A and B are shown apart, each in its own frame.
Chain A
Amino acid sequence: MAVDGIDLQVQPGEVYGFLGPNGAGKTTTVRMLVTLLRPTGGRATVAGFDVAREPQKVRRKIGVALQEAALDLLMTGRELMELQATLHGIPAKKVHARAEDLIARVGLSDAQDRRVGTYSGGMKRRLDLAMALIHAPEVLFLDEPTTGLDPTSRATLWDEVRRLKNDGTTVFLTTQYLEEADQLADRVGIISAGKIVAEGTPAALKAEVGRPHLDLCFDGDADVGRAREVLAGFGEVAASPADGVDLSIGVLEGSRAIAPVIRALDEAGIVVGRVELVEPSLDDVFAARTGSHLEGAGAAPAPGAATV
């Protein structure tokens, strides 16, 4: 059994991150929700319609970009978009304009008259997304949309997801990348072996397993005792920091605490050699709930991410 009694609810306009390792049941869940696979039990509604009893109504409300970009490589991007528009019942007079608009939106205007077979992986993904949006769906399902993409293409897709959210589209995003769920999702459901093991906002889930803290290393023979005194007002200073760390301080504000901490130390004449913000990750949440780690945890660095 790939999925075993999942119970979840996604609010309109929400980006819901569905996170789990390979084989956890993510794709099976999506295929049931988008009416490609009939559930053997239970009940699911999408946009107010029962997926088993009213699949046609569900299909009118949803857009889907499946794990593999399903494209006809012999057709051009524009032809595919126009075919998709026709299949979704868009009136012939509006087909061309709608296709042009979405092609431009995903940055493929220059390539729209080329056969899709000549597109890069990122371009295919963007076209796939544009096709999923052709009928302005209320709910968009993205099944591991950035798997295998380069950071630039990933950033483009992330931006588009954020834009869709701003437009009020509900997005059901499955991913095995923690960073992706963390960056994009309003709420996250973590699935393991066909069951939901954790659900909530990324911040709330991470707060359940620990607080963010700063690990500090000082240059030269800095007075660690004096540093403790300076930072006492910023948060709880750990009694015994980890190996290689001079001082560790809990900071509820996360990255926003870095600048004030360094400024205070600088004013006290203490030179900071290295500072690292250590935050609990969704992988820590997964580990806390299942005892194991997500496959590929951290394998998808955030586009433009940097270590301070």
Chain B
Amino acid sequence: MSRSVTVIGALVRRALNEISRVPGAAIPGVLAPTIFMLGLSSVFGKASGLGGYHADFRTFIVPVGLLQGAGFTGAATGVNLARDIEGGWFDRLLLCPAPRATLLAGVVASAALRALMPGTFLLVVAFALGVPVPTVTGLLIAALLVMGLACVMACFSITIALRFRTQQAAPLMQIASFIGVLFTTSYAPKPLLTDWLRTASDINPVTHVLEGVRQGFIGGVEWQHTWPAFVALAGMIAVLGTLAARGLRRYGY
């Protein structure tokens, strides 16, 4: 067990090391959610007057930006893995005697930590612009859910990377987070959604995660919004984690 933790730690350090070595590569992913928040709140800021938002539009979409950051980070994890496959590094990883699950956990865990970077930057800008600061519990739950969603998206992109083994599959790796976050109550409360989108958001487990993050910013932390978010997250991690593990077994047994 302790050996697995050591290996996971080493893989996470390697992933974080990349950020310090090539900071330019991380900047777009860090800035993008904040740019989305600023742009969308400027264009659609008055939409909150339609009712049901219970906050100004900027506050309403800050959680969306947090999830977008998690999505970008998760997709980047798959792209980095595809690069490692192309360069042969991944073969070296598979040749070490650590269990496959440990290797997978190391790669996924790095996504969870990296997801805090765009989220932190977004929150700093949002709070500076007057978005109310949530309670510590609200922030903690938001951080855990963002990290969890980054793991989910990382599992998806890793599955794609192991299947196609090329960085050219990057657009496919990003599609899950794009669809997952878009087909929710991301930009409007449920009563304002069209019928089909309302249905989609009901089915979409990311909606629960979004509402779990949002509760800290609008209203307050309530158990009824918290447990569905974590259950949805656990379900997605179970399904996509299994797919990623299966992909890993197929790639190198």
Instruction: Please list the residues of chain A having a beta carbon within 8 angstroms of any beta carbon in chain B.
Output: 34-38, 52, 55-56, 59-60, 62, 64, 66, 68-72, 74-75, 79, 83-84, 86-89, 92, 115, 131
Contact = CB atoms under 8 A, between A and B. Distances in A.
Q: For this complex, into which size category does the number of interface residues on chain B fall?
A: 20 to 34
Contacts of B21: 74-75, 115
B91 A60 contact: no
B89 A75 contact: no
B91 A89 contact: no
Nearest to B106: A87
Contact of A83 (B10, B18, B94, B98): B10
Contact of B87 (A52, A70, A115): A70
A34 B91 CA distance: 10
Nearest to A36: B252
Nearest to A38: B253
Contacts of B17: 74-75, 79
Contact of A35 (B7, B89, B99, B252): B252
B96 A88 contact: yes
Q: Which 6 A-B pairs have the closest CB atoms?
A: A70-B88, A87-B96, A59-B97, A86-B10, A74-B21, A70-B92
Given A55-B253, A72-B14, A74-B22, A89 B89 contact: no
A87 B106 CA distance: 11
Contacts of A70: 87-89, 91-92
A84 B11 CA distance: 10
Contact of A89 (B14, B92, B97): B97
B91 A59 contact: no
B1 to A, nearest CB: 13
A71 B89 contact: yes
A197 B93 CA distance: 33
Interface in B4-18: 6-7, 10, 13-14, 17-18
Choose among A37, A70, A92 the residue with the greatest number of B CB atoms under 10 Å from its CB.
A70
A87 B10 contact: yes
Given A35-B252, A59-B96, A74-B21, A87 B7 contact: yes
B97 A92 contact: no
A56 B99 contact: yes
B95 interface: yes
A176 to B, nearest CB: 19
A68 B88 contact: yes
B122 to A, nearest CB: 26
A60 B97 contact: yes
Contacts of A74: 17-18, 21-22
B19 to A, nearest CB: 10
Interface in B59-103: 87-89, 91-99
A56 B102 CA distance: 13
A60 B97 CA distance: 6
Nearest to A31: B91
A36 B95 contact: yes
Contacts of A89: 3, 7, 97-98
16 contacts: A35-B253, A36-B95, A52-B253, A56-B97, A68-B87, A70-B91, A72-B14, A74-B22, A75-B17, A79-B17, A87-B93, A88-B96, A89-B3, A89-B7, A92-B6, A115-B21
Nearest to B25: A74
Contacts of B10: 83, 86-87
A62 B97 CA distance: 10
Nearest to B98: A87
Nearest to B103: A87
